[in-house]
Amino acid sequence: IDDPTGNSFVENPFAPKSDPSRNEVKYERTTEQNHQLGLYSQDELQETEDPVLNKIPEESNELTDEKLKEEVLTFPTNCHECNAPAETNMKMTTIPYFKEVVIMATVCDACGAKTNEVKAGGGIEEQGKKITLRITDITDMSRDVLKSETCSIAIPELGF
């Protein structure tokens, strides 16, 4: 897994001890990778002609970190199967030996369809991350993998 955001994760079944089959390397992102993630230096923001990048964010204290951690938030959405109005529940939580995540779940009252997602919730890490897992046992194929939307997965042995 190569993830410029640093938000991907491969389960360590030996946690908190180290995993002999798993290697994790943090690296400095390139300027191009930073721009793909929407990260710009103050100098780049001052020099740009782009009105979106020049916009000064408005400050708002309506939804604090404490409220996010305490409550299950609900927001309206449409069902992914039948497009009927539905509600999605969202909760911030912390996964041990990993990080803060957002868990979202939707159940459609009209057709009964269900969906859920787990997303990294702590923002973009300072460095990118490359995780290499050497498969030595069938149990290695049962590990949980949490990947960000920006990561890439390669399996050279399979030409993938």
CB of 62 closer than 8 Å to CB of 77: no
Question: What pLDDT, in 10s, does the model give residues 104-134?
Answer: 999 999 999 999 988 877 778 888 999 999 8
Question: What pLDDT, in 10s, does the model give residues 13-29?
Answer: 888 899 999 999 999 99
Q: 71-75, 122-126, 152-156: which has the minimum mean pLDDT?
A: 122-126
pTM beyond 0.95: no
Residue 36's contacts (CB-CB under 8 Å, 6 or more residues apart) are 4, 150
Query: Which pair of tokens denotes residue 55?
Result: 């916009």
